Amino acid sequence: MNKLKLYSGPLSMFGAKVEIAVREKGIEFDLVMVPFDFERGYTPKHPEVLRINPKWQVPVLIDEGVQLFDSTQIFEYLEDRWPEQPLWPHSIAARAEARKQEHCSDEVFFPHVIRLMGMRANPDPVEAQEWKNATAAIEAYYLGMEQWLQDHEYIAGQFSYADIAFYMAQFFAARHTVPLTAQHPRLLAWRGRMIDRPAVRLVVTAMADYLRSQGQMVPQLGDQAT
Ligand X SMILES: N[C@@H](CCC(=O)N[C@@H](CS)C(=O)NCC(=O)O)C(=O)O
Q: Which residues bind ligand X (CB under 6 A)?
A: 9, 12-15, 42, 56-59, 70-72, 106
DSSP state string for 29-48: EEEEEPP-BTTTBS-SPPHH
Q: What is the nearest approach in angstroms of ligand X to the Cβ of residue 186?
A: 26
Q: Which is nearer to ligand X, 188 or 203 (CB)?
A: 203
DSSP letters spanning 50-113: HHH-TT--S-EEEETTEEEESHHHHHHHHHHH--SS-SS-SSHHHHHHHHHHHHHIIIIIHHHH
Measured from the CB atom, the residue of 107 and 209 that comes closer to ligand X is 107
Residue 6 C-beta: closest distance to ligand X, Å: 12
Please state the closest distance from residue 225 (CB atom) to ligand X, in A.
26
Task: State the minimum distance, in angstroms, from the CB of residue 204 to ligand X.
Answer: 14
Q: Tell me the C-alpha distance between 105 and 166, whole Å.
A: 5
Nearer to ligand X, 36 or 190 (CB): 36
Using CA atoms, how far apart are residues 156 and 91, in angstroms rounded to an integer?
Answer: 11
21: nearest Cα among 55, 72, 66, 89:
72
Shortest spacing between CB 68 and ligand X, in angstroms: 10
Residue 88 CB burial class (10 angstroms; 0-12, 13-18, ≥19): buried
Least distance (Å) between residue 51 CB and ligand X: 14
Nearer to ligand X, 70 or 130 (CB): 70
Task: Name 69's bridge partners.
Answer: 60
Q: By C-beta, is 72 or 177 nearer to ligand X?
A: 72
The nearer residue to ligand X, 106 or 188, going by C-beta atoms, is 106
In the bound complex, which residue of the shown chain has the CB atom lying closest to ligand X? 57
Residue 100 Ramachandran class (φ > 0 left, ψ -120 to 50 alpha, else beta): alpha
